[in-house]
Structure 1
Amino acid sequence: MKKIESFRIDHTRLKRGIYVSRKDAVGSECVTTFDLRMKEPNNEPALSPESAHTMEHIGATFLRNHAEYGDKVIYFGPMGCLTGFYLLLAGDYESVDIVDLVRGLFRFAADFEGDIPGASAVECGNYTFMDPAGAVIEAKKYCAEVLDVISLENLVYPE
């Protein structure tokens, strides 16, 4: 079986950042998949499932309501390894194009107070599986240590 592209990235050299994971043609349109890497793979603890679930609710709500990108958001959700999130946007983008969007997203999550969007039995299949405090801590860490000081090594996959 052919190895998929995301498994060809050397995760022992991967830093936290914003990466273009892939670009796919869907009809005549391009869909760009971003790797929003919050944790250095295999070198620091992964996100807790509860905090990732909370960030998914906050993040998806922020992104789908964004004035510029809201209608371009196809998907936002956690990676199976819980070291970050995937963001799929309609359009042909590079990592540098969405730095401000991702900063805004995680600052919003870092400052979030109140009821988590969609966190009720009617709206979510596992609404009690949330950790708002953990989500805030992780979002603040990603902003301070990565997004606010981002450089080229955090925007292009290692070779």
Structure 2
Amino acid sequence: MEKIASFQVDHTTLRPGMYLSRRDGNVVTFDLRFKVPNTGDLLTNAEMHSMEHIIATLLRNSPQKDAVIYFGPMGCQTGFYVLLDGAQLSMAHCIALIQSVFEAGANYAGEMPGKSAVECGNYINLDVDLAKAQCRYYADVIKGWTVEQLAY
């Protein structure tokens, strides 16, 4: 079988940041890497789930919401994937969108979106403070990120 693109990245040298993972027509997939792979330093389930709720909500309420296709966690627990419509946003605009939503997540002042049994199948492990702390960390990592830095 053919190796998928993400398995062709050297995970022993990959550092936290924002990377262009692949393009499929107008769909652009970004690897939002939080943790250094293969170190055992992983995002906890509660951190990942909490950030997923806040960042997905912020993305889908942003002025660029029509360009948002998907936001979700990586199975390896080292980050997230975000899929955006590259016909609507340039690479620089994609970076700016991610920077703005993580900055907004770091400063989030509301209640956790979707924190009820009706809205979420595992609402018990959602924690606004965990999400805010990780959003602050990642906002700092990608502050000043450039199109040139999108390459693995």
Structure 1 residues 81 and 37: CA distance shift in structure 2, 3 A: same
How far did residue 110 of structure 1 move?
0.8
The percentage of aligned residue pairs carrying the same residue is: 48
- Gaps of at least 5 residues in structure 1 are none
Q: Name which of 119, 124, 128 aligns with 1:128.
A: 124
The equivalences for 1:127-146 within 5 A come to 127-144=123-140, 146=141
For 1:82, the aligned partner's letter is Q
Q: How far 1:149 moved relative to its partner? A: 4.3
Q: 1:4/1:46 Cα in 2 relative to 1: closer, same or farther (>3 Å)? A: same
State which of 66, 83, 93 in structure 2 corresponds to 1:71.
Answer: 66
CA distance, structure 2, for counterparts of residue 33 and residue 74 of structure 1: 9
Cα distance in 2, alignment partners of residues 89 and 148 from structure 1:
20
2:107 aligned with 1:115: no
Q: Offset at 1:142?
A: 1.4
Change in CA separation of 1:59 and 1:77 when aligned onto 2, cut-off 3 Å:
same
User: Residue 47 of structure 2 corresponds to which residue in structure 1?
Assistant: 51
SS at match of 1:89: strand
TM-score by length of 1: 0.86
Name the CA distance, whole Å, in 1 between partners of 2:36 and 2:145. 14
Deviations 1:53-75 (A, max 9, x none): 111111111111111x2011111
Alignment CA distance shift 1:46-1:96 (3 Å): farther
Shift in Å, 1:42: 2.1
| 2:41 alignment partner, SS class | coil
Shift of 1:91: 2.2
What CA RMSD, in Å, does the superposition of the two structures yield over aligned residues? 1.9
CA deviation vs aligned residue, 1:85-122 (integer Å, no higher than 9, x gap): 10011225665432211111111111112311111111
Give the counterpart letter for 1:75 in structure 2: Y
* 1:23 alignment partner in structure 2: 23
User: Contact (CA 8 Å) 1:18, 1:95: kept in 2 or not?
Assistant: no
d(CA) in 2 for partners of 1:87 and 1:56? 11
Gaps of at least 5 residues in structure 2 are none
TM-score, normalised to structure 2, is 0.89
Give the structure 2 partner of residue 86 of structure 1. 81
Inter-CA distance 55–71: structure 2 relative to 1 (3 Å threshold): same
1:152 CA drift (Å): 6.6
Work out the number of aligned pairs and report it.
151
